[in-house]
Structure 1
Amino acid sequence: MWFRLLYVLLSLNVIFCYKILALFPHRGKSHYNVFEPMLIELSKRSHQLTVINHFPQKIKIDNFEDINLNENGEDLNEVFPFGFFGSGLLSRLNLVRKLSVVTEDTCETLNTRVMNEFIRRKEKFDLVLTEHFMGNCYLGLMHFTGGSLIGLTSGGMVPWSNDYIGNPDNPAYIPILFSGMADSMNFFQRAINTVHYVMTRLFYKFLIDSPSNELARKYIDSNLPDLDTFAYNTSLILSNIHFTLHRTKPLVPGLLEIGGVHIGNVRKLPQNIEKWINESSEGVVYFSMGSMLIGHSFPIKKREMFQRAFSRLKHRVLWKWENDTMPGKPDNVMTQKWMPQFDILCHPNVKAFVAHGGLLGMTEAVHCGVPVVVMPQFGDQFTNARALEASGGGVILDFSTITEDNVYEALQKVLNPKFKKQAEELSARFKDRPMSPMDTAIYWIEYVARHKGAPHLKTAAVGMPFYQYLLLDVIAFLLVVFLSICLVSYYTLKMLLKCVYPAKVKKTKTN
């Protein structure tokens, strides 16, 4: 009996449960939507989650404590009209300046009742998860929470986040998040990408980072060290990207791709939508511009171009449209204010997706093997669109120059069986991984906790001054050495010539 009891005890797996603080102070719901399933999964695995966010759980979850920053229950679904952000170079650069205003609003939430109560708790944690997107003011909480820091990015890497783990970030072939470039660039594109790189980092330093430090000291502790002290202690960054979609680039071990971590199981469609899709003999095109763009703000002339292009198709169209009615709606178009996007895209009779290039939608389309007509509007959507096009999963439409004919031509291109095959091949590459994105994320979060911050994941480049990282000091030293050798050689040779040909030198001077 004692032998059996000992055997059972030895057979039990040791389960380590960690206290985890998750920081999501940004008001953008799409950012939180990426990682919410991961947080819930961590709680299901018996880790104790404290989540600071604006979107608390509607149904209580075990091991999951929400600290609700949206105390007044405001509607935080920001919506914008088409063309609000602009698409030119200056508009994209100006986006970082606009983010500085958003950063200040985010940091001000440190002065809410719930955050004042949380700060007074002085609670300790094993791990801190935070999104790297704008300012680091919430990292000031680590002054008393302790714990190892794991960064999260809901899209591609912002330039300053690469510094935290020493990840290479060369603008010669790595598109900057807001530049709208592909990885293969000509001279002019590399020049634009480099300007984006330099200007973005300068804007961040002076318009985002400095105010974040001031507000963190104001609301958390006046004796806080510089927030970079915490940021440069980042153990790991989990990024919602994947090389099959975002193209190949060098990654240090501390940067892991978990693109698609939000994707769950396909659910049954509402009856009216399923009937509309199933009864289409040619298939269905799904049209949605996400949650932030107001469908009915679509300029009338451009909307009519799409309507006429759709009416020329044999396919049916599902159009996410926020108004009750749509003037001039063709018979083959069905509109609805909200639709279950992922479940629609994975239906086998859905043949194409017209979208704005938001990363959640792009990732879902790639997962389901649906080709996309992308019409980017702002932020990282231009870069996402270029990456998707380069990967063979879609084509790009310029919103400012669309016509009925080029809309129809783009649709015909992606509806071609050859293009569908490309999209399915991309989907197969995207899903072919040793572990699912969710299991990958959970494993590495627990890995960092098990190994006390896993400092061995970081390269020596972390915290290195830029002149050392770019070898400017070495280049300067080698230039000095080279010039010194040249000068010494010159004067030595001159002295030798004087010794070997003294008469000739003297005669030359006399003449």
Structure 2
Amino acid sequence: MLSEEKRKVFLKAFSSLPCKVFWKWESDHLPGQPSNVEVRKWLLQNYILGHPNIRLFITHAGLLSIQEAIYHGVPILGVPFFADQYTNINKAKDHGFGEKVDFATFTTEILLAKIQKILQNSRVGERAGLSTEKVVSDCSYQIDNIILYKMKFSLPCSSYKENAERISRLFKDQPETPLQKAIFWTEYVLRNNGAHHLRSSSADMPWYQYLLLDVIAVLGTGVILVLLLLYKLLSAVFRLANKTIKKKPN
């Protein structure tokens, strides 16, 4: 669960924006909810990211969330918590379509500065002729799917949105769609009686190899031999030292 302190940090930052915020929350009421913030138990993240007016995606930087943002060409503000999330948002930042905040140390001022930095350096899709601007977030710990609607605020173009759209074009530039690819390989397996020639040899491993017991046995044996050798050497040294001491005259 999101602590009360961190929740207040988010709410204070959002209340400072001239935007309407949608926040995926565990109930239909958010304690301390500002007038410009609305909560929903569930939001269709992928469909929202596909809206031509989306400006920013605030996310915990899970792999699926990053992939959906890349597909739709939406800049990212990452709040990573663990595992691959740090690597994912760092890559987004390196490629120029994301920024990162540290969940353990960020403040209202830091969060607000990051949001404004991306918002003020991204361009709304002019082809749609829309006057609203939106931001989506799916930060974990109940900070999911935040959407900001900013009314009639024109901004200059900058690298965040352009880089996100460039990465999106690269991502989509394939000889076939993912659905077509899935259909082809499904039919391929059916046509070729299970396509056993594509089956990984690791699927037929003996159980002791699957559990790496053979590797553990070899390494363990090596460690035991080294320890035994050290024991023998130390024993020999101590015996030699004792003999030397006994031979010394009183």
- Establish whether TM, by shorter chain, passes 0.5: yes
Residue 91 (structure 2) pairs with residue 383 (structure 1): no
Percent of aligned positions that are identical = 41
Q: 1:374 aligns with which of 74, 78, 103?
A: 78
Q: CA deviation at 1:451?
A: 4.2
Larger RCO, structure (CA 8 Å, separation 6 or more) = 2
Residue 167 (structure 2) pairs with residue 426 (structure 1): yes
| Partner SS for 1:322 | coil
1:490 maps to which residue?
none
| Partner SS for 2:47 | helix
1:414 maps to which residue?
118
CA–CA distance in structure 2, aligned partners of residues 434 and 388 of structure 1 = 25
Q: 1:439 aligns with which of 160, 180, 187?
A: 180
Task: Summarize the Cα distance change of 1:456–1:341 in structure 2 as closer, same or farther, 3 Å threshold.
Answer: closer
Q: Which amino acid aligns with 2:18?
A: K
Q: CA deviation at 1:456?
A: 7.0
Q: 1:348 aligns with which of 39, 46, 52?
A: 52
Task: Summarize the Cα distance change of 1:333–1:456 in structure 2 as closer, same or farther, 3 Å threshold.
Answer: closer
1:405 maps to which residue?
109
CA–CA distance in structure 2, aligned partners of residues 393 and 457 of structure 1 = 38
2:20 maps to which residue?
316
CA–CA distance in structure 2, aligned partners of residues 315 and 367 of structure 1 = 25
Residue deviations 1:224-272 (CA, integer Å, cap 9, x gap)? xxxxxxxxxxxxxxxxxxxxxxxxxxxxxxxxxxxxxxxxxxxxxxxxx
Residue deviations 1:326-355 (CA, integer Å, cap 9, x gap)? 222222211111112122212222211111
Decide whether the 8 Å contact of 1:392 with 1:426 is kept in 2.
no
Report the TM-score when normalising by structure 1.
0.30
Q: CA deviation at 1:449?
A: 4.3
Residue 197 (structure 2) pairs with residue 455 (structure 1): yes
Task: Summarize the Cα distance change of 1:315–1:428 in structure 2 as closer, same or farther, 3 Å threshold.
Answer: farther
CA–CA distance in structure 1, aligned partners of residues 49 and 182 of structure 2 = 25
Q: CA deviation at 1:306?
A: 1.3
Task: Summarize the Cα distance change of 1:354–1:456 in structure 2 as closer, same or farther, 3 Å threshold.
Answer: closer
1:305 maps to which residue?
9
Residue deviations 1:185-207 (CA, integer Å, cap 9, x gap)? xxxxxxxxxxxxxxxxxxxxxxx
Q: CA deviation at 1:436?
A: 0.7
How well do the aligned residues superpose, as a CA RMSD in angstroms? 2.7
Q: Which amino acid aligns with 1:446?
A: E
CA–CA distance in structure 2, aligned partners of residues 382 and 454 of structure 1 = 38
CA–CA distance in structure 2, aligned partners of residues 392 and 332 of structure 1 = 30
Q: Which amino acid aligns with 2:179?
A: M
CA–CA distance in structure 2, aligned partners of residues 389 and 457 of structure 1 = 37
**Counterpart mapping for 1:13-52 below 5 A:** none
2:241 maps to which residue?
none
Q: Which amino acid aligns with 1:455?
A: H
**Counterpart mapping for 1:80-229 below 5 A:** none
Q: CA deviation at 1:377?
A: 2.2
Residue deviations 1:43-80 (CA, integer Å, cap 9, x gap)? xxxxxxxxxxxxxxxxxxxxxxxxxxxxxxxxxxxxxx
Residue deviations 1:444-469 (CA, integer Å, cap 9, x gap)? 2333443452637979xx98x9xxxx
Which runs of 5 or more residues in structure 1 are unaligned?
A: 1-296, 466-511
Q: Which amino acid aligns with 1:442?
A: I
Report the TM-score when normalising by structure 2.
0.58
